[in-house]
């Protein structure tokens, strides 16, 4: 997803921008560019491809102390130099970078006078021309940005410079993330904290429709109407080290190994002595939660898979009906919501637009549902919309493919299920205590799974040349199969389809032939014997079986060609253990195929477009 960084200060800005862009690489991008403010104009360089392509062409950059940079993930117009940001106006004195989509850009472009020449296919460029017109009418850059954004429909985070106003960056947001930062001598903006963490720990989270004027050593925040706003200041207490690879070959491997800690941190001090769940923020009363008669869980990708696990847990422990929706579909299908509905938004970033909009829809005055958000980024847009927030404390996740935040989400959702059970009296206190103890032991069980790393990797390497995989699971093993297939697709580009084991016979079994690889999640649980029957059905048609099976389960091992052993835990908590085997299985295949596991092609860490 696009990334923005900008700095106005006393020092040469080029290295600061390039460092910031490097820190944004994890978001996924396909071109990059910078604009530096010089005396009379804006100096600009853009390149498709990786950041190194841009770095190779900035040797002749002029000395400048104010500038903006961008990594672009293509939406409107392919990843080319002309579509890369920053975009400039006709005079070359205004430069704009943008994250998001300007939905009415065609209408806005049609309203531009004939003197304007557009040079890209992007929705963004129209902004530079609109600002140009405002400046020509005598506005300052800040007034021009405010006036233009009042006409824009869609989601955006933008930053702009004007050659005529040295030492000033004007930035704004609606729907897409943007933060500002400050030191004694410089002002900064970025779409994400790591981009400016090398410069400052003092950050300010901006709200929708706020405009920030960034100058050396100062920030001024206003609404679109120009009213002054005091932004909330926050000190960042994690450092760049935490976002580095820590000795591992890539972030993905490091983050897989951080999973026990991510789960332990998420569970730490969550359950108060009186049995209440400690949420990070809440305006919900226990009575309101007790009155909940239906739960919807919404999320995308890996977060959606964690939500599926929650469905099993909440229905079983708390005896509440749960619907689970891919967030991008939720608000388009007339779900029946009211104040007794709890909507749980699950998101690593707290910024995925699909989930964000699903959450907003749930809370809208028409629907009035209660909104609880589970996310990993403090003060994210979703967290700020929510009635209650439970932060997964997994630390920054850099690899585009989620791993440790997934396990932390599962831990948080299991806690929520037990809390709802306690409120509703569907389990005896002693049962809840026993379950909480088991949950607290989960980090140790995950450690034990990680001890099998070599076996998982070796198994994966056996299937490097396989093109098609099937992943099967039953009950709570089905979300594990979905997540295992997603990991494999994302990082190795193999085709992987996931099905509930019992569904294969209704059609997909037609694709099974000798040599087809079937990865079966076959750990012990209520449906174990049925899963073994499904494995038999695949074997009978010549499939090669890779089974995720409990340590020492010889019965299951006897049905498989390859076993990925995992330690046992409570069935409903087992996804947080079983999926570890599949993460490393996928990792080994991707590495053996020479893939860039941290930044897979076409993917973005945070998807802030619809």
Catalytic residues: 2, 605
Coil/strand/helix, residue 149: helix
Toward ligand M6R, which CB reaches closer, 200 or 352? 352
**Residues near 106 by beta carbon (within 8 Å), at least 6 away in sequence:** none
Residues 547, 556 contacting (CB under 8 angstroms): yes
Measured from the CB of residue 77, what is the shortest distance to ligand M6R in angstroms?
22
Toward ligand M6R, which CB reaches closer, 277 or 586? 586
Map tokens 């509440």 to a residue: 320
Q: Which of 186, 302, 341, 583 binds ligand M6R (CB under 6 A)?
A: 302
How far apart, in whole angstroms, are the C-alpha atoms of residue 549 and residue 529? Answer: 12
99 binds ligand M6R (CB under 6 A): no
Toward ligand M6R, which CB reaches closer, 352 or 559? 352
Measured from the CB of residue 251, what is the shortest distance to ligand M6R in angstroms?
12
How far apart, in whole angstroms, are the C-alpha atoms of residue 62 and residue 288? Answer: 60
490 binds ligand M6R (CB under 6 A): yes
Toward ligand M6R, which CB reaches closer, 317 or 478? 478
583 binds ligand M6R (CB under 6 A): no
The interaxial angle of helices 429-440 and 442-450, nearest 10 deg, is: 30
Give the sign of the dihedral formed by CA 319, CA 320, CA 321, CA 327: negative
Rg of the chain in Å (alpha carbons): 25
Measured from the CB of residue 300, what is the shortest distance to ligand M6R in angstroms?
4
Measured from the CB of residue 109, what is the shortest distance to ligand M6R in angstroms?
30
Token pair belonging to 44: 């600009």
Q: Segment contacting ligand M6R (CB under 6 A): 135-143, 287-295, 342-350, 572-580?
A: 342-350
Toward ligand M6R, which CB reaches closer, 395 or 501? 395
Toward ligand M6R, which CB reaches closer, 259 or 606? 606
User: In 441-574, where does DSSP find H-type helix?
Assistant: 442-450, 453-461, 477-492, 528-539, 554-557
Q: Which of 155, 210, 402, 523 binds ligand M6R (CB under 6 A)?
A: 402
Measured from the CB of residue 182, what is the shortest distance to ligand M6R in angstroms?
27
**Residues near 52 by beta carbon (within 8 Å), at least 6 away in sequence:** none
Measured from the CB of residue 375, what is the shortest distance to ligand M6R in angstroms?
7
603 binds ligand M6R (CB under 6 A): yes
Measured from the CB of residue 273, what is the shortest distance to ligand M6R in angstroms?
32
State the SS3 of 259-303.
HHHHHHHHHCCCECCCCCECCCEECCCHHHHHCCCEEEEEECHHH
303 binds ligand M6R (CB under 6 A): yes
Measured from the CB of residue 522, what is the shortest distance to ligand M6R in angstroms?
24
Toward ligand M6R, which CB reaches closer, 89 or 578? 578
Q: Which of 348, 367, 569, 574 binds ligand M6R (CB under 6 A)?
A: 348
155 binds ligand M6R (CB under 6 A): no
400 binds ligand M6R (CB under 6 A): yes
* Residue 86, preceding peptide bond in cis (omega within 30° of 0): yes
Measured from the CB of residue 230, what is the shortest distance to ligand M6R in angstroms?
29
347 binds ligand M6R (CB under 6 A): yes
Q: Segment contacting ligand M6R (CB under 6 A): 261-269, 440-448, 573-581, 601-609?
A: 601-609
Toward ligand M6R, which CB reaches closer, 303 or 523? 303
Measured from the CB of residue 70, what is the shortest distance to ligand M6R in angstroms?
21
CB atoms within 10 A of CB 180: 28
How far apart, in whole angstroms, are the C-alpha atoms of residue 423 and residue 44? Answer: 59
Q: Segment contacting ligand M6R (CB under 6 A): 186-194, 399-407, 453-461, 504-512?
A: 399-407
CB atoms within 10 A of CB 356: 26
401 binds ligand M6R (CB under 6 A): yes
Residues 474, 530 contacting (CB under 8 angstroms): yes
Q: Segment contacting ligand M6R (CB under 6 A): 168-176, 301-309, 313-321, 576-584?
A: 301-309
In angstroms, the Cα distances linking 272 to 81, 415, 436 are 55, 12, 12
DSSP code of residue 573: G
Toward ligand M6R, which CB reaches closer, 65 or 402? 402
Residues 276, 419 contacting (CB under 8 angstroms): yes
Residues 145, 225 contacting (CB under 8 angstroms): no
How far apart, in whole angstroms, are the C-alpha atoms of residue 272 and residue 432? Answer: 13
Ranked by CB distance to ligand M6R, the top (closest) residue is 301
Q: Which of 124, 155, 349, 583 binds ligand M6R (CB under 6 A)?
A: 349
Toward ligand M6R, which CB reaches closer, 112 or 603? 603
Measured from the CB of residue 560, what is the shortest distance to ligand M6R in angstroms?
26
606 binds ligand M6R (CB under 6 A): yes
Burial of residue 541 (number of CB atoms within 10 Å: 0-12, 13-18, 19+):
middle
How far apart, in whole angstroms, are the C-alpha atoms of residue 188 and residue 38? Answer: 18
Q: How many residues lie near ligand M6R (CB under 6 A)?
A: 16
How far apart, in whole angstroms, are the C-alpha atoms of residue 5 and residue 70? Answer: 6
Give the residue among 602, 600, 597 at the shortest CA–CA distance from 256.
597
Q: Which of 65, 162, 222, 355 binds ligand M6R (CB under 6 A)?
A: 355
Q: Segment contacting ligand M6R (CB under 6 A): 54-62, 185-193, 228-236, 296-304?
A: 296-304
Q: Which of 6, 48, 67, 301 binds ligand M6R (CB under 6 A)?
A: 301
Burial of residue 519 (number of CB atoms within 10 Å: 0-12, 13-18, 19+):
buried
Toward ligand M6R, which CB reaches closer, 318 or 486? 486
Interface with ligand M6R by CB under 6 A: which residues?
A: 300-303, 347-349, 352, 355, 400-402, 490, 603, 606-607
């Amino acid at each position: 997803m696009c990334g923005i960084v900008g700095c106005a200060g006393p020092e040469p800005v080029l290295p600061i921008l390039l460092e910031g862009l490097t820190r944004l690489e994890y978001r996924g991008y396909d071109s990059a560019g910078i604009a530096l403010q010089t005396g009379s104009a804006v100096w600009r360089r853009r390149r498709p491809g990786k950041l190194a392509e841009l770095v190779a062409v900035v040797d002749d950059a002029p000395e400048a102390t104010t500038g903006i940079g961008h990594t672009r993930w293509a939406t409107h117009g392919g990843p080319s130099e002309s579509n890369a940001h920053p975009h400039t106006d006709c005079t070359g004195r205004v430069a704009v970078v943008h994250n998001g989509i300007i939905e009415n850009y065609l209408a806005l472009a049609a309203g531009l006078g004939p003197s304007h020449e557009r040079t890209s296919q992007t929705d963004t460029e129209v902004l530079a021309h609109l600002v140009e017109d405002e400046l020509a009418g005598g506005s300052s850059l800040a007034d021009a940005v405010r006036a233009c954004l009042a006409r824009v429909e869609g989601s955006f985070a933008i930053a702009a410079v004007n050659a005529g106003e040295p030492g000033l960056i004007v930035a704004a947001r609606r729907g897409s993330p943007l933060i500002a930062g400050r030191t004694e001598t410089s002002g900064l903006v970025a779409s994400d904290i790591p981009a400016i963490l090398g410069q400052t720990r003092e950050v300010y989270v901006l709200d929708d429709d706020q405009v920030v004027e960034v100058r050396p050593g100062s920030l001024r925040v206003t609404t679109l109407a120009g009213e002054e706003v005091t932004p909330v200041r926050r000190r960042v207490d994690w450092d760049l080290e935490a976002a580095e690879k820590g000795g591992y070959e890539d972030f993905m491997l490091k983050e897989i190994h951080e999973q026990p800690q991510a789960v332990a941190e998420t569970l730490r001090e969550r359950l108060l002595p009186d049995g209440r769940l400690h949420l990070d923020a809440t305006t919900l009363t226990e009575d309101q939660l007790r009155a909940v008669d239906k739960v919807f869980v919404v999320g995308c990708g890996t977060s959606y898979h964690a939500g599926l696990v929650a469905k099993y847990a909440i229905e079983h422990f708390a005896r509440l009906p749960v619907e689970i929706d891919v967030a991008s579909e939720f608000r388009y299908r007339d779900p029946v919501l009211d104040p007794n509905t709890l909507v749980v938004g699950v998101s690593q970033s707290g910024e995925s637009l699909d989930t964000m909009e699903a959450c907003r829809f749930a809370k809208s005055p028409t629907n009035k549902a209660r909104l609880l958000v589970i996310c990993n980024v403090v003060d994210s847009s979703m967290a700020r919309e929510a009635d209650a927030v439970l932060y997964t404390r997994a630390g920054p996740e850099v690899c585009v493919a989620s791993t440790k935040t997934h396990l932390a989400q599962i831990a948080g959702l299991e806690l929520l299920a037990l809390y709802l059970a306690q409120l509703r009296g569907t389990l005896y206190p002693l049962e809840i205590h026993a379950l909480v103890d088991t949950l607290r032991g989960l980090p140790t069980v995950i450690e034990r799974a990680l001890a099998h790393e070599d076996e998982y990797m070796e198994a994966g390497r056996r299937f490097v040349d396989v093109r098609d995989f099937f992943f099967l699971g039953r009950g709570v093993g089905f979300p594990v199969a979905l997540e295992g297939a997603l990991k494999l697709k994302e990082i190795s580009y193999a085709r992987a389809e996931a099905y509930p084991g019992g569904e294969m016979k209704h059609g997909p079994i037609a694709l099974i032939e000798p040599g087809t690889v079937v990865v079966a999640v076959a750990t012990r649980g209520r449906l174990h014997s049925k899963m073994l029957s499904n494995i038999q059905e695949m074997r009978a048609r010549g499939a090669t079986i890779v089974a995720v099976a409990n340590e020492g389960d010889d019965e299951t091992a006897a049905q498989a060609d390859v076993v990925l052993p995992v330690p046992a835990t409570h069935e409903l908590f087992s996804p947080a253990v079983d999926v570890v085997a599949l993460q490393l299985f996928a990792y080994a295949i991707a590495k053996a195929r020479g893939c860039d596991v941290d930044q897979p092609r076409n993917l973005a860490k945070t998807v802030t477009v619809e």
